[in-house]
Structure 1
Amino acid sequence: MKTTRQPDRSSPAMTISGIVAPVLVGVLMVLRLADAAGHVGAWLGLVASVGWLASTMLRTSNTRWGVARWTTVAVMLIAGSLASASTDVVGFVPAIAGIFACVAWPSIPLRRGLVAAGASLLALAIGLVASPVAGVGAAVGSLVAFGMVLLGALGRRQFRASEAADRSMLEERVTAAAERAQMAALEERARLARDLHDVLAHSLGALVIQLDAVDAELEAGQAEPARDRARRARTLAADGLEEARRAVAALREPGATTESVVRSLIETHRSLGGTLTATVDGVPSTRPETVDAVRRATQELLTNARRHAPGEDVHLELTGAPEVTLVVSTPHAVHAGGDGGGGGRGLTGLRERVSAAGGEATVDAGDPFTVTVRLPA
């Protein structure tokens, strides 16, 4: 027979009651034997009490529901049920405990519990028929006790099954929450990696190109052109440093809005010598993905304007609801192959970022060079 492991729920109170109760029933059975020697019902009740005590000891030792556990429960059920009628239902107490042990625990298949209860009922009927001292009161009392115990055990089983289901559901929710947190952490790491790539690769790549050119011109004895390139390299380094600072500031400003980040970038653009006409209208968006995409798109487009159209008046327009729209137009801008001219991801990375945020970016390479970004608010 395949066995089912019973969960260890033997608290100190349960263990004490599982020892005191069978001892008490056993004492009552011994007293009955003293009054009427050879009383078969009392002997059966005593045997059932011993089986109950043995079952408690096995449960305390966390023994599996194997042959030993089932044997002790069978003794409780059969002997206790046979003794019920002739002991005024006192001998039936061990059988009650046995029915609860088999039926009340969801870890034991219900079919086995009902078979055990059926065996107890059969033994109870045999005891009622065979007992010479059984009266109508004993019969009614035994049957009523059996019915109440069975119903109580089934109710307890349902309660425990519901409790286990709730616990399992809670564990699943905790697991799902942990998985979501892990995914969020991975997405955040990917976003940070993308930001660092855009900031550092874009700036440092252009800086490396300028310094290589400086080195070549110095070797060729062209000091003045080398000096000009060195100045441009310094400007690129300053721009890269400013972009890195803005990236760090973005991480420190979780409550930023599309309007606040655009206004900050406009101030930076003007402080670096760029000219710009701006129109900011509508309700600002606080959606993190939209704010981040607008920040990076504005940063990319203004940086390109300073590099490829220095001195030109850039026009920027930002509108809010029902969707966030960013339009940046640069007159006479030179489009450098889609990479922003700095070896970075440029417009390609801008499109990818906007698409990841649920929006779209379109480019009009005419004069003025115009990029339009649309994002959910």
Structure 2
Amino acid sequence: MTRFRLPPVAATTPWSAGINLAGALAVLYGLWRGAPHTAAWALVVTAVGVAAWVARTALAVQQGARQRRGGPDPEAPGTGTHPAPQGAVEPAPQGAGVRALAALLLALMLLGGGLTAVPTQGLGTALLVVAVLVVTSEPANSPVVWGTAALAAALATATGAALTVAGLAGAVDVNVIGVLAVIAGLILAVVAGLGRRAQRVLAAERERANAEAVRAQATAHRVAIARDLHDVLAHSLGGLVVQLDAAEALLEAGDTERAAARVTAARRLAVEGLDEAREAVRALRGPEQGAPETVTPATATWTPAIATPDPGPGAATVDPAALSARLAGLLPGEDAATVHVQELGEPRAVPAALAEALVRAVQEGLSNARKHAPGAEVRIRLVWHPDRVECAIENAMPVEGAGGRGAGLAATGGGFGLRGVRERFAAIDGTVTAGTVRTAEGELFRLRVEARA
């Protein structure tokens, strides 16, 4: 069973508070002018209602000041999903005492306005309309609450009219048109309040949707950063480990010349990794003005006809030469005798997202082969179909129980690389398959990607 809770005091702006105070002063002025013809009890009840109006306006202004200082009230409708601004102090939720006081003041306005609407010749209608408007426009109030308030207002108005007919309201006669005007004002207040309530609910839903969109965008941004960091670090650091392991083995064998060549290759991989990390940071910060960096021509089995600058992720399309240059850039540091590349079909320009996905897929395939089957032969096959492009990277499966220098590197995998490849191809409606296959040459691990081009 849910516990009933009074709704919070909605915040108001100084401009709205000024309008309310002006209305209260206008009612007091009219009351003063009509005092000689009005019963004393009607004057007192109206004055109490006006005082409640002013006090409740002051509470709303105080709540608005709290929100401007420290963000929205955590318990206000539609604001519970929004954190306070950076550097601001989160305000404490409104206490039960404040809520009870606000409800009491609203009840005084409602009953006072209803009882005096006819005896004061319509002056109390202002209190009645404002109270009904506040109750019906508050999203935290259920239909039972604002329906009860509207019914209480109608009964109070009828009671005031009856007292006037009985001659207990001073020298004031009951005017049918005046009573109908009070009833019409009450109905308009209910309709206007419900319309304002719908606007508030819609605004709160829009704010929640915007907050969800911001959170989803931030999540996607974090995933993209993690994917790019993995793509950069796994390839460069994995290659670095392989080269250093080979250099260590050559030094133990006394072959210092070849060991020095391996160390040089390791240094080149470290420099390339730094360059790729800078490119990732530059892409995250946004495009910068200036000439693009050029890609160093690769001296591997995949040699592009033209060394073209990397077009970057913001380019609309990537031409075949630029794509070949980026793929070739992955091969220095690999053993040219163990990496074989085959390209079939007619290359053509592809969207930048597809080019990036292909490069990262080849990079991940090389990194996996280096981790789990160091020294094994790796085959890269890029096939240009008339309506799509397909790329397969396969390597021999490692021998069970084999240790050696590459065993530690195999334990560093977390599965994030293949997940990143799948995410990239899912974004362009491509497909990714990864797993072991049996061939005439034995068991192979194959990473195959495909997308429309």
Q: Tell me if TM exceeds 0.5.
A: yes
Give the alignment partner of residue 323 of structure 2, picking from 262, 274, 284: 262
The residue that corresponds to 1:151 in the other structure is 187
**1:118 aligns to 2:154 (yes or no):** yes
User: Which segment is superposed worse, 207-216 or 8-17?
Assistant: 8-17
Q: 1:298 to 1:262 in 2, by over 3 A?
A: farther
Q: 1:265 to 1:79 in 2, by over 3 A?
A: closer
Give the alignment partner of residue 167 of structure 1, picking from 198, 203, 210: 203
Report the CA distance between 1:160 and its aligned residue.
Answer: 1.4
Report the CA distance between 1:229 and its aligned residue.
Answer: 3.2
Q: 1:142 to 1:260 in 2, by over 3 A?
A: farther
- Structure 2: unaligned runs, 5 residues or longer: 60-97, 284-311, 427-431
**Cα distance in 2 between the residues matched to 1:51 and 1:187:** 60
Report the CA distance between 1:15 and its aligned residue.
Answer: 3.5
The residue that corresponds to 2:360 in the other structure is 296
Give the alignment partner of residue 382 of structure 2, picking from 299, 317, 342: 317
Report the CA distance between 1:75 and its aligned residue.
Answer: 2.9
**Cα distance in 1 between the residues matched to 2:239 and 2:58:** 71
**Cα distance in 2 between the residues matched to 1:300 and 1:237:** 21
**Cα distance in 2 between the residues matched to 1:182 and 1:104:** 38
Report the CA distance between 1:144 and its aligned residue.
Answer: 1.3
**Cα distance in 2 between the residues matched to 1:270 and 1:212:** 21
Q: 1:228 to 1:168 in 2, by over 3 A?
A: same
Percent of aligned pairs sharing the same letter: 15
Does the 8 Å CA contact 2:323/2:355 hold for their aligned counterparts?
Answer: no
Q: 1:309 to 1:71 in 2, by over 3 A?
A: closer
The residue that corresponds to 1:75 in the other structure is 112
* Letter of the 1:360 counterpart: T
- What is the aligned residue count? 345
* Letter of the 1:254 counterpart: P
Give the alignment partner of residue 93 of structure 1, picking from 115, 123, 131: 123
**1:229 aligns to 2:259 (yes or no):** yes
**Cα distance in 2 between the residues matched to 1:264 and 1:360:** 25
Report the CA distance between 1:195 and its aligned residue.
Answer: 1.7
Report the CA distance between 1:181 and its aligned residue.
Answer: 2.4
Q: SS of the counterpart of 2:351?
A: coil
Q: 1:260 to 1:245 in 2, by over 3 A?
A: farther
* Letter of the 1:59 counterpart: R
Report the CA distance between 1:191 and its aligned residue.
Answer: 0.8
Larger relative helix fraction: 1
**Cα distance in 2 between the residues matched to 1:23 and 1:316:** 89
The residue that corresponds to 1:36 in the other structure is none
Q: SS of the counterpart of 2:123?
A: helix
- Structure 1: unaligned runs, 5 residues or longer: 34-38, 85-89
Report the CA distance between 1:188 and its aligned residue.
Answer: 2.2
Q: TM-score, normalised by structure 2?
A: 0.61
Q: TM-score, normalised by structure 1?
A: 0.72
- RMSD over aligned Cα atoms: 4.2
Does the 8 Å CA contact 1:3/1:65 hold for their aligned counterparts?
Answer: no
Report the CA distance between 1:353 and its aligned residue.
Answer: 4.5
**Cα distance in 1 between the residues matched to 2:419 and 2:213:** 28
Q: 1:280 to 1:161 in 2, by over 3 A?
A: farther
Q: SS of the counterpart of 1:61?
A: helix
Report the CA distance between 1:126 and its aligned residue.
Answer: 0.7
Q: Deviations over 1:330-370 (max 9, x none)?
A: xxx8766699x963679x87655444444114667656989
